[in-house]
Structure 1
Amino acid sequence: MNKFLLLFILFFIASCKKSEEVKNFDNLNSSEYFSISTGLKNMKDINKNKINDSLYKITGTFSNYTITGCVDHKNIRVGWWTAINKQSKELNAKLEYKFIDNKEFVNQYLLFEDGKIDSVNSKFYWLDKNENVAKYNFYIPNSSKHLESEGKLNYHVYTNGTELKHSQYKCSKIENIFSCEIPYLKDTESKMIIRGNFWELFQMENGNIGENEIYVLDTLK
C-alpha cells in the first residue's frame, strides 16, 4: 500500500457524523492527523502488557496496519508508535508522542517509502554532533501553500542540573529543511543537555498564519 493511501487512512476521521461538515485537513495539526489510527478506542485486537508500574506496551490493528506503542497508567500515549503493513510487514509510519502542559500531542512523525524516510512529507529533526558544535536539521512537510516562513530554535543548555545558557537561534532554510548550529560551551567538561523547541511560522495562500513546532531534548557530550 503506497504512502498516499496510508496518509488517507491516518488522516480520515471515521467517527464524523454525516451531518457534520468534513474537516479541511490542511488546518489540522499533527496530533489530529494521527489520533485516529493510534487511538485505543479505534483499534481492534488490542493487547496491553505491563512493562513497569507506569508503562504499558500496546499492540493492536487499525485497517491494514499493526499498531504498536506505549501508554502510561492513565492511557496517555508516550514515546514512539509504529504502523506496520500486515501483508507486506513493511514499516510505513512512526510517530512520537509527547505530554507537555497537560496536553498529549504528536511531536514528530516519519513516513516511509521503500524502507527510507520520506523527508519531504515527514516532520522530524536530525542532530549531527562533532567536537565543537551540535547541528540541528528540522524537516517540515513541504507545501506549496506556504508562501513565507521563518524558523527559530529556542533552547536551554544544562549541565549537572544547572542551566548555563538560554538563547534563541534563527534557522536558515533550504527547501523544507531548517538548520541551526549550537556551539559547545568551552568552560565545562560535563555532559551538556539541550532542552527547547523549534517553531516555524508561515503565511498561507489565503493570508492565514500557521505554525509547526518540534520539541527537542538531547545530550551533547
Structure 2
Amino acid sequence: MNKTPTEAKLFAGALAASIGMEDSLEVVVCPPSIDIPAVIDVLKDTKIKVGAQNIYPKESGAFTGEISTTMLKDLGAEYVIAGHSERRHIFGESNALINEKIKFALKENLTPIFCIGETLEEREAGRTFDVLRDQIIEGLREINTDEVLRIIVAYEPVWAIGTGKVATPEQADEAMGYVRKLIGELYGQDVSDQMVILYGGSIKPENFDSLIKMENIDGGLVGGASLKESFIELVKIAKKYL
C-alpha cells in the first residue's frame, strides 16, 4: 500500500526510461489496484508487464472492496499475486482460499505468482519443510500439469519480509530446492525443472547477487526495494545470470 496514482505514474516513467525495453528477462510490477491504470498507460509500449497484488475468486458480486480478474483484464493486467504472507497473516487467508484464487486466475488467463513461506517460529521449530509442503499441496490442489507450468512460485520466508533480515543464500536455496523437489514428486521432474521459483524477503542490491546465483533461485519477488530506483539496479543484476 504505497504510492498514489500520480506517484506511481512518475515512477513507472522512470522504469520505462531505464529498463523499459529490456527483453532478456521478465520484469513485472504489481502496484496497488488503484494505480494500475496509470502504470499500464505509461508501460504499455515497453517490455515491462503489470500485475495486481490480489484478486477475489469470483467474476462479480457482493464482495465490497474486492477486485475481480475481469476488472484487471479490462485494464490490461497479466499477473496476480496469490498467497502473499501479508494476505495470509494480516487478513487470515487460508490455503483453500489461495487455491481458489490461483485456479480462478488460471481460468481467466492471468499468471499467478504463488507465494509460500514459513514464520520465524515455524523455522525455529524445525517445521519449515512441513509448512512449505502443506502450502504447496493445498495451494495447488486440483491444478493439473499444464496449469502448474503457468504458475510462478515465490518463496518468501515471513521472518525476512520487511525486517532487514535476509535468509542466507544457502538457507534460501535449501528451502527452494525442497520446493522444486516436491513439485517434481507431484508433477514430474520435467515440470520441476521448468518451474520458475523466486526468492522474496528484504532483497536489495547489496544482497541480490549472492542470492540469484544460487542453483534454485530464478529471480526475485521484490518488496521495499521495488519502491525506489534500486529496483532498476536489481534488474541489471538479474540480467547477468541469464
Q: Same fold per TM (> 0.5)? A: no
Point out the structure with max Rg over C-alpha: 1
Question: Could you say which structure has the greater relative contact order, defined with CA pairs below 8 angstroms and 6 or more residues apart?
Answer: 2
Q: Which has the higher strand share?
A: 1
Give TM-score scaled by structure 1 length: 0.30
